[in-house]
């Protein structure tokens, strides 16, 4: 989905209270499914991590993370902002723990899921929590490979922002259930060229028949289809600040 700034309706809303984990984070496994790279929390050792606040009327329990990325820096994210695509997008999924017992039940039901979209931008400094995931890329090169991931803090994975855009839509992986409340955070997290290169070395097939690279695994761009996109971002203030910065640096050059 591409979101144009002028299509987002302003609304007064409390910021997301975000996620809160205990005992240093979540343990789970990273899976190469042959179509996606997915982190799933270990059920037997799962710490209850709630996602609350913002536009969410319920408490959602963290379940899994999907990583979508392109084979070049101009493609990869499933959401575009003013038609700008990021090289990757991380999607954090949770299920409605107040109404449903688990992800399998919730994904078919109204208000069943929350999906937090983190845009991933190329930078010189890697997000420390993202590094916990990227450090095992070499262990999930082929379809069916899994690797343990220990003490991942969702709170630290998120960018330092309270601004977001939100809409009700579908999941982007097979099933495409129209049961998700999406939150697209207005700041990216960063990945280095080295880690992005390692990500692009992952393959769709097993080691015996690797087939094609796992990248370019985003759903084709979808239209809004009359969905309402809301935001708590004050674009007037953002534009004023950008204008001030532009004029300041123009004078100094």
Catalytic residue list: 100
For 203, the token pair is 């393959």
For 238, the token pair is 């953002």
Distances (CA, A) of 230 to 10, 19, 25, 80, 112: 6, 21, 31, 15, 19
For 155, the token pair is 């709170």
Beta carbons of 55 and 166 less than 8 angstroms apart: yes
**What span, in angstroms and rounded, lies between the C-alpha atoms of 183 and 166?**
5
Could you tell me which residues are beta bridge partners of residue 191? 122
Residue ranges in 19-125 assigned as alpha helix (H): 103-106
For 129, the token pair is 């929590």
Return the residue matching tokens 């999907």: 66
Instruction: Count Cα neighbours of 236 within 13 Å in the Cβ-side half-sphere.
Output: 2
Distances (CA, A) of 113 to 1, 223, 228, 237: 18, 20, 18, 32
Return the residue matching tokens 């999924």: 93
**What span, in angstroms and rounded, lies between the C-alpha atoms of 160 and 187?**
8
Return the residue matching tokens 């003490």: 151
């Amino acid at each position: 989905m591409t979101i144009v700034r002028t299509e987002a309706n302003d609304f007064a809303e409390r910021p997301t209270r975000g996620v809160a984990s205990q005992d240093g984070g979540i343990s789970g496994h990273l899976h190469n499914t042959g179509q996606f790279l997915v982190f799933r929390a270990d059920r037997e050792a799962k710490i209850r991590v709630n996602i609350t606040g913002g536009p969410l009327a319920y408490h959602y329990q963290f379940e899994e993370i999907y990583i979508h990325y392109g084979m070049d820096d101009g493609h990869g994210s499933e959401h575009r902002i003013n038609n700008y695509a990021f090289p990757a997008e991380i999607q954090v999924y949770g299920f409605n723990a107040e109404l449903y017992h688990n992800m399998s039940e919730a994904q078919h039901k109204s208000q069943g899921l929350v999906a937090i979209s983190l845009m991933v931008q190329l930078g010189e400094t890697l997000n420390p929590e993202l590094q916990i995931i990227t450090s095992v890329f070499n262990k999930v090169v082929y379809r069916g490979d899994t690797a343990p991931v220990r003490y991942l803090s969702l709170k630290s994975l998120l960018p330092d922002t309270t601004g977001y855009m939100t809409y009700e839509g579908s999941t982007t992986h097979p099933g495409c259930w129209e049961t998700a409340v999406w939150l697209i955070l207005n700041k990216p997290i960063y990945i280095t060229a080295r880690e992005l290169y390692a990500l692009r070395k992952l393959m769709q097939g097993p080691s015996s028949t690797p087939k094609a690279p796992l990248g370019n695994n985003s759903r084709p761009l979808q239209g809004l289809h009359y969905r309402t996109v809301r935001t708590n971002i004050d674009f007037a203030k953002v534009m004023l600040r950008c204008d001030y910065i532009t004029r300041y640096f123009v004078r100094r050059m």
